[in-house]
Amino acid sequence: MPRYFLEVSYRGTNYSGFQLQKNAITIQSEIEKAFKTLQRDEVCMTGSSRTDAGVHSLQNFLHFDYEKEIHPHFIYKVNSILPVDIVIKNLVKVKPVAHCRFDAVSREYKYYVYRHKNPFLKDRAYYYPYKLDIVKMEQAAEMIRSYQDFTSFSKRRTQVKSFICKIEESKWVKENNGLVYYIKADRFLRGMVRALVATMLLVGRDKISIKDFKTIIEQKDCTKANFATPARGLFLIAVNYEENYFSQ
């Protein structure tokens, strides 16, 4: 049966996350509903990355199997049905064994922090008007690349079998009068990026030292890290596949 990848982008403010949930409105539920409206048929879609409630995405993927004819103006028609905060960017026919989650080789996130009151950023970044030692935060971000076990930065009651993540990049950058934490890895744990940011902000405020941050990582205990950053500052910006993956 033919398989298709859907590339999607969304503002997660009004949704209970990306993945289907019982009695909840999610990104996936809205896309599947729009598909049914257009095609007059149901499909069960599989997502690449499960973003939490309130988290945004510039690029995420779903795949689905469908043997009937796809509407010739599928993207235009589905986008006219979807809410304004969800958009389909591309539809690609792939090989039947392709898997948008398992075939992804890396994912990239950014977390946005703004330090001066700005009403136009309140639902897309974290307002944090405190004095910060950026050098120490940069040191903490660089330290993260030396580790692979991120048990301390995973929320409880997660169903993963491994807490190992291979970090390719981790850094703080100044952007548009604010701060952005950028991280790229092969996989991420539930709540991981927000916990890393929250804990590094404590380093920046001298609430904990670089040595304390190192100890938190090595203790492999999620009660030691800070998870107090809101979802609105987090963006999944890319899901990456091997070169020429979509041309195979």
Residues 6+ apart with CB under 8 A from 146: none
Burial class (CB in 10 A: 0-12, 13-18, 19+), 232: buried
Please identify every residue annotated as catalytic.
52
CA distance 221 to 181: 23
Whether 142 contacts 172, CB under 8 Å:
no
Cβ atoms < 10 Å from Cβ of 69: 7
H or E segment at 110?
A: strand 106-114
Tokens of 136: 């120490």
CA distance 169 to 146: 11
CA distance 159 to 162: 9
